[in-house]
């Protein structure tokens, strides 16, 4: 169960997942049956799908993102569930501990809370003139508060003033951006969430319109026009999730499979966007960029 079936990024992630499953001996339609549900950021639909999937009594449920995980957990405390792209699973109450989740849930986390400071650092590095930073987040997501905390702690060292922008839809994003951009030297941190994921084009377009240098958590943001992305490789996490699904199908208990952290970080810079914003990317940054979008 994930956000959107149509997105290019989602397709490659699902492809990576299926590919890994095939490598492990599970062929969709031959050895296993997979039902996909794409809620596309619609919490109501997401909720309905969670109930629907739990009703199918599958052998294992793969969940992407914190809200989807939360909804599935509301539906079932027994069906084995593997998550990806979930932040702070302990704090979110999904698992008891990372080493020993204990229940029916395990998976792959994406970001540590310290990333809040890191994104701020990256933003400051590519756009040193930024003095005001808006953190676009989903206020009901606990992990976002942790990111916020880390960023806030680091803000003084970068001489930056932070502004929290809690959003639930495109309109709120648009409004927040418009409001924030009234003052100069603004920048933006976009936290990983279904809402930001689903409305990423709105966010990117707003950033461009209001000339806000922004840092994003995933590569596809940069590819689709975001200035810079720094974060984990979700494809890697989906591959890992496939190994966990495999082990659960073979009898392993989710509660005994440790929650793994995503370790592969990548830095992407969209030079087009940078030029549009009049940003000259420093060579020290370019030197450690994994991919530069021209």
Partner 1 sequence: MCLVLLVNGLFGIWFSYREQKASLTRIQREQAESAAGKIGEFIKGIESEIGWTTQLPSTASLRERHFDALRLLRQVPAVAEFAWVDAAGREQLRVSRVSTDTVAGGTDLSQEPRFTEPVAHKIYYGPIYFRRESEPYMTLALAGARRDAGVSIAEVNLKFIWDVVSQIKVGKDGLAYVVDARGRLIAHPDISLVLRNTDVSQLSQVLAARAGGQGMPRVEVAQDVQGRRVLTAFAPIVPPGWMVFVELPIAEAYAPLYASLVATGLVLLAGLVLTILASLMLARKMVTPIRVLQTGAAQIGKGALDHRIEIVTGDELEALGNQFNEMAARLQESYATLERKVEERTHQLELANLAKSRFLAAASHDLRQPLHALGLFVAQLRADIDPVERRRIVARIDSAVAAMNDLFNALLDISKLDAGVLIPDPAVFAIRPLLRRMETTFAGVAHEKGLKLRVMASSAWVRSDPVLLERILLNLVSNAVRYTDRGGVFVGCHRRGDSLRIEVWDSGIGIPDDQRRNIFGEFYQLAGNEAGRRGGLGLGLAIVDRLCRLLGHPIELASIPGRGSRFAVLVPWEAARPEATEPPSPLQEIVDPFRNKLVVVIDDDALVLEGIGGLLRGWGCHVVAGESADAALARLRDRTRCPDLIISDFRLSGRENGIEAIEHLRRAFRIRIPAFLISGDTAPERLREAAAGGYHLLHKPVPPITLRAMLTRFLKDNPVVEDLVGPASVDGRL
Of 36-44, 136-144, 150-158, 273-281, the segment contacting partner 1 by CB under 8 A is: 150-158
d(CA 210, CA 64): 31
DSSP assignment of 237-272? HHHHHHHHHHHHHTT--GGGSPPEEP--EEEEEEHH
* Smallest distance, partner 1 to C-beta of residue 169, A: 30
d(CA 211, CA 205): 9
Residues in the interface with partner 1 (CB under 8 A) total 29
| Burial of 243: CB neighbours in 10 Å, binned 0-12, 13-18, 19+ | middle
Phi, psi of 125 (to 5 degrees): -75, -40
Select 159 or 284, whichever has its Cβ closest to partner 1.
284
User: Which of 82, 44, 39, 14 has its CA nearest to residue 194?
Assistant: 39
CB 85 within 8 A of CB 192: yes
Q: Does residue 157 touch partner 1 according to CB under 8 A? A: yes
Of 36-44, 61-69, 117-125, 202-210, the segment contacting partner 1 by CB under 8 A is: 117-125
CB 220 within 8 A of CB 10: no
Select 29 or 251, whichever has its Cβ closest to partner 1.
251
Of 129-137, 195-203, 270-278, 283-291, the segment contacting partner 1 by CB under 8 A is: 283-291
CA 285 to chain centre: 23
d(CA 10, CA 38): 10
Q: Does residue 242 touch partner 1 according to CB under 8 A? A: no
Per CB under 8 A, the list member of 70, 85, 115, 143 interacting with partner 1 is 115
The site string for partner 1 over 71-110 (x = CB under 8 A, - otherwise) reads --------------------------xxxx----------
Select 50 or 87, whichever has its Cβ closest to partner 1.
87
Select 95 or 181, whichever has its Cβ closest to partner 1.
95
Select 183 or 291, whichever has its Cβ closest to partner 1.
291
Query: Which stretches of the chain bind partner 1, using CB under 8 A?
Result: 97-100, 111-112, 114-115, 117-118, 120-121, 150, 154, 157, 256-261, 263-265, 267, 284, 287-288, 290
């Amino acid at each position: 169960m994930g956000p959107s079936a149509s997105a290019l990024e989602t397709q490659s992630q699902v492809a990576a997942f299926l590919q890994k499953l095939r490598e492990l001996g599970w062929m969709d339609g031959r050895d296993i049956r997979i039902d996909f549900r794409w809620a596309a950021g619609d919490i109501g639909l997401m909720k309905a799908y969670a109930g629907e999937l739990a009703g199918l009594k599958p052998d294992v449920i793969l969940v992407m993102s914190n809200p989807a995980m939360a909804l599935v957990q509301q539906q079932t405390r027994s069906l084995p569930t593997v998550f990806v792209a979930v932040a702070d699973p302990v704090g979110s109450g999904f698992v008891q501990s990372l080493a020993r989740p204990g229940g029916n849930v395990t998976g792959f986390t994406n970001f540590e809370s310290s990333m809040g400071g890191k994104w701020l650092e990256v933003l400051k590095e590519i756009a040193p003139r930024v003095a005001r930073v808006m953190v676009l987040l989903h206020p009901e997501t606990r992990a976002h508060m942790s990111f916020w905390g880390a960023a806030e702690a680091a803000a003084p060292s970068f001489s930056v003033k932070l502004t929290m922008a809690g959003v639930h839809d495109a309109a709120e994003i648009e409004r927040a951006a418009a409001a924030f951009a009234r003052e100069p030297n603004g920048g933006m941190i976009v936290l990983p969430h279904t809402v930001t994921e689903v409305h990423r084009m709105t966010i990117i377009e707003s950033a461009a319109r209001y000339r806000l240098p922004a840092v994003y958590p995933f590569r596809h943001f940069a590819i689709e026009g975001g200035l810079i992305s720094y974060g984990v490789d979700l494809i890697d996490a989906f591959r890992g999730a496939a190994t966990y699904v495999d082990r659960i199908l073979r009898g392993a208990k989710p509660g005994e499979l440790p929650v793994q952290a995503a370790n592969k970080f990548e830095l992407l810079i969209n030079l087009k966007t940078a030029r549009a914003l009049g940003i000259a990317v420093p060579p020290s940054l370019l030197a450690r960029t994994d991919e530069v979008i021209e």
